[in-house]
């Protein structure tokens, strides 16, 4: 009789143990809630809850399952990636989304021409949403350019906007050497260095065996032109008309008047220089 009672008790113990459930595992992108993590077995009738993994949100279904006769009821919870949604529009800027607007995606903000980015250009969709503050696009500004000796510029302001133009001028009798206009560029600097004011005067040209035909008379100022002619028995080599350039030089250089014989020798010499390589070939 005692043996039967012991066996019966042992059988009940086996049945009780069989009713327990092992720690359940959740579906994709979900975890068992903290209060249940430390337990390895659960009694018959016990219930546990799941939550979505960081970066995921519940998209329907019950979060709770129950242990019944050693087995857990089906888990109905569905988890999907958190969607951060679009960022607020950036004035004078553009936003490019890498792989959409869901958890793990990134957004890159760029500014349009003439505007500079202030803040972080790359934002990431994280657990709590877009991480970081949305940047702004501020208009490019250039500071006042340098003054020049014997000259001035206008308009004269503390700051200039993108593509705004500054114009330089010189005192009477002087010429601008360099750019007359400076433009505020997209990097916040003017397009070139300020010009200088120079006095331009070319020396009175003298051509041996030639003479002045037309054009400027001394003093020869900037862009003054002179045209020469050779004496009847001479041939001109070079351009007959020259111009006084910004460096006070005649451009493209003064011509030469050569006697007909010397001119022919020069032409033949030039021809030989050209034909010798051909003969060698």
How many structural domains are present in the chain?
4
The rounded distance, in Å, linking the Cα atoms of 213 and 40 is: 113
Residues with Cβ < 8 Å from 32, sequence gap 6 or more?
23, 24, 25, 26, 48, 49, 50
Q: Which residue has the tokens 């113990």?
A: 13
pTM for the predicted model, two decimal places? 0.58
CATH number of the domain residue 107 falls in: 2.10.70.10
Average pLDDT along the chain: 87
Asked if residue 57 and residue 18 are part of one domain, the reply reads yes
Looking at residues 17-38, what average pLDDT do you find?
A: 89
Looking at residues 257-274, what average pLDDT do you find?
A: 56
Write the pLDDT tens digit of every residue in 107-152.
999 999 999 999 999 999 999 899 999 999 999 999 999 999 999 9
Asked if residue 64 and residue 6 are part of one domain, the reply reads yes
pLDDT band at 91 (very low <50, low <70, confident <90, very high): very high
Write the pLDDT tens digit of every residue in 4-13.
444 344 444 4
pLDDT band at 168 (very low <50, low <70, confident <90, very high): very high
Asked if residue 249 and residue 234 are part of one domain, the reply reads yes
The rounded distance, in Å, linking the Cα atoms of 64 and 270 is: 102
Domain membership of residue 230 as a residue range: 210-278
Sign of CA dihedral 258, 264, 267, 270: negative
């Amino acid at each position: 009789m005692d043996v039967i009672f012991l066996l019966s008790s042992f059988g009940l113990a086996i049945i009780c143990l069989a009713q327990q459930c092992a720690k359940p595992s959740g579906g994709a992108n979900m975890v068992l809630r903290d209060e249940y993590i430390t337990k390895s077995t659960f009694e018959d009738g016990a219930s546990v809850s799941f939550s979505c993994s960081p970066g995921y949100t519940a998209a329907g279904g019950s979060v709770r399952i129950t242990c019944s006769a050693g087995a857990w009821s089906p888990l109905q919870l569905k988890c999907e990636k958190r969607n951060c949604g679009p960022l607020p529009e950036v004035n004078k800027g553009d936003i490019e989304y890498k792989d959409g607007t869901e958890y793990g995606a990134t957004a890159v903000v760029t500014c349009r021409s003439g505007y500079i980015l202030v803040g972080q250009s790359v934002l990431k969709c994280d657990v709590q949403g877009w991480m970081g503050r949305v940047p702004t696009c501020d208009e490019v500004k250039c500071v006042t350019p340098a003054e020049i000796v014997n000259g001035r510029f206008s308009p004269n302001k503390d700051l200039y906007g993108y593509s705004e133009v500054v114009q330089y001028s010189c005192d009477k009798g002087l010429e601008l050497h360099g750019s007359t206009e400076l433009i505020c560029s997209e990097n916040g600097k003017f397009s070139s260095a300020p010009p200088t004011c120079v006095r331009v005067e070319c020396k009175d040209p003298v051509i041996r065996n030639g003479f002045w035909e037309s054009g400027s008379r001394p003093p020869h100022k900037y862009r003054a032109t002179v045209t020469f002619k050779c004496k009847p028995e001479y041939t001109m080599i070079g351009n007959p008309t020259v111009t006084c350039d910004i460096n006070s030089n005649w451009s493209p250089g003064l011509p030469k008047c050569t006697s007909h014989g010397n001119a022919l020798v020069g032409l033949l010499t030039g021809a030989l220089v050209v034909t010798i390589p051909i003969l060698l070939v």
